[in-house]
Amino acid sequence: MIGRKNDRRITTVRSTLKDVQKEKKHKSPATISERDKETSRILKVLMLIMPVIMICILVLGVWRAIDEYVTNNPLVQLDSDAPSALVNSKDADAEKKRLEELEYMFRIVNPEHPIDESYKVDVAEYKGVQINAKMKDGLEKLMKAASNEGFKPIIECGYISIEEQQKLYQDKVNELIKEKGYTMVRAESIAKEYVPVGGCSEFQTGLLIKLKDGQNKKSAFSTTKLYRWLINYGVNYGFVIRYPEYKQSFTDVPYEPTIFRYVGEEHSKKMHTYNMCLEEYYDYAKSAI
């Protein structure tokens, strides 16, 4: 009897152990799954919160930087009733400077628009020829590039002072009186058709050069390869033909292929693209400021 009771107890214990093991098997995956879900939810919350935190840190940093700059630079803080002219003073100064530069570089000189000594020319020299210093760098580059292409451009004329121009005019007057027998009044009137009076020639700006081809002295300059090269590539160095063909209605001067004007690379390229002479482009550039 005792043996049977013991067997029953052993069987009962074994049965209980099996039930416990089964319960563990069923519960363990469920418990792990719940933990994974909880971890996933935490990660999602962190992913949503972190960008907000980063943005807040960035905004705070920018705000502190601006606050520090304003503190160290009190002059930029304008009163609410400060005049608009003061607020825009920098823009106004830049516009004024650009307009003054445009007026200087595009100064048109002729009998209707004479020049005087108020137009200051910083005279420089290039291979014995006087020029405006503003174009020296561009001229050196132009002549070097032409030489590299196998051309031989020669500068016949550059800057002429008002006094020198007046002397050239007076020499022409005297020549007409002596050789043609003209009266002084008639000689002066006719001389102006050939040689401008002092102050009425654009050579007084020092921004004009008169060229000739050292390799084709007997050929008309407009028929040379040098001329065609200057028309197409001179703009890369700031030079344009001053009195182009078909533009006499604007310049009041007949087509003159030997005279080139320095206007700077920025403007020369635009003038070439728009097919504008100096008079046309000056009005365009002035209205664009």
Instruction: Please give the Cα distance from 283 to 279 (Å, whole number).
Output: 7
DSSP for 239-259 reads: EEEEE-TT-HHHHSS--EEEE
Task: Please identify, among 200, 228, 262, the residue that sits at the C-terminal boundary of a domain.
Answer: 200
Same domain, 57 and 108: no
Do the beta carbons of residue 204 and residue 160 sit within 8 Å? yes
Residue 85 lies in a domain: no
Same domain, 243 and 267: yes
Q: What is the pLDDT of residues 21-40, one digit of tens each?
A: 555 455 455 455 677 677 77
Same domain, 208 and 278: yes
- Both tokens assigned to 71: 């503190």
Please tell me the total count of domains within the chain: 3
Same domain, 32 and 148: no
Residue 79 lies in a domain: no
Please tell me the predicted confidence (pLDDT) of residue 42.
Answer: 77
Instruction: Please give the Cα distance from 257 to 155 (Å, whole number).
Output: 13
Highest mean pLDDT among 8-12, 68-72, 158-162: 158-162
Please tell me the predicted confidence (pLDDT) of residue 231.
Answer: 97
- The average confidence (pLDDT) of the chain is 84
Residue 17 lies in a domain: yes
Same domain, 49 and 101: no
Same domain, 210 and 282: yes
Q: What is the pLDDT of residues 223-262, one digit of tens each?
A: 999 999 999 999 999 999 999 999 999 999 999 999 999 9
Same domain, 192 and 210: no
Residue 125 lies in a domain: yes
Please tell me the predicted confidence (pLDDT) of residue 23.
Answer: 52
Same domain, 220 and 284: yes
Same domain, 215 and 127: yes
pLDDT at 76 > cutoff 80: no
Task: Tell me which residue range forms the domain holding 185.
Answer: 163-200
Q: Is 214 exposed, middle or buried (0-12, 13-18, 19+ CB in 10 A)?
A: exposed
pLDDT at 63 > cutoff 80: no
Q: Report the pLDDT averaged over residues 109-125.
A: 93
Output the pTM of the full model: 0.68
CATH number (domain holding residue 130): 3.30.1380.10
Please tell me the predicted confidence (pLDDT) of residue 70.
Answer: 47
Please tell me the predicted confidence (pLDDT) of residue 82.
Answer: 43
Residue 84 lies in a domain: no
Please tell me the predicted confidence (pLDDT) of residue 75.
Answer: 43
Find the helix or strand (DSSP H, E) in which 42 lies. Answer: helix 2-72
Residue 201's closest CA among 239, 275, 256, 136?
256
Instruction: Please give the Cα distance from 64 to 172 (Å, whole number).
Output: 76
| Cα angle: 195, vertex 199, 204; to 5 degrees | 90
